[in-house]
Amino acid sequence: MRTVIVRYETKPDRADENQRLVEKVFAELAECQPDNFRYASFRLDDGVSFVHVVVEPGGGSNPVSLADLPAFAEFQREIADRCAVQPVAQGATIVGSVGLGLVAHDDGSHEVLSGSSGSPLGLRAGPELTAPRVGSGAGRCPS
For the stretch 90-101, pLDDT in tens is 999 888 777 776
Q: For the chain, how many structural domains are there in total?
A: 1
21 within domain boundaries? yes
Instruction: Check whether 131 has a pLDDT greater than 70.
Output: no
Exposure b/e, 14-53, CB count within 10 A at least 16 = b:
bbeebeebbebbeebbeebebbbbbbebebeeeebbbebb
Q: Helix or strand or coil: residue 106?
A: coil
User: Could you tell me the CATH number of the domain that includes residue 23?
Assistant: 3.30.70.100
Q: Could you list the residue range(s) of the whole structural domain that residue 37 is in?
A: 2-92
Instruction: Assess contact for 26 and 19: CB atoms under 8 A.
Output: no
The reported pLDDT for the residue numbered 56 is 87
User: How confident is the model over 53-91, as pLDDT tens digits?
Assistant: 998 887 888 888 899 999 999 999 999 999 999 999 999
Tell me, yes or no, whether 37 lies in a domain: yes
In a domain, 135, yes or no: no
Does the pLDDT at position 128 exceed 60? Answer: no
Q: Compute the distance between CA of residue 143 and CA of residue 140 in angstroms, rounded to an integer.
A: 7
Residue 103 lies in a domain: no
Let me know if residue 33 belongs to a domain: yes
Residue 133 included in any domain:
no
At 133 the pLDDT is 42
Instruction: Judge contact between 113 and 103, C-beta under 8 A.
Output: yes
Give 132's Cβ-side CA count (13 Å radius): 27
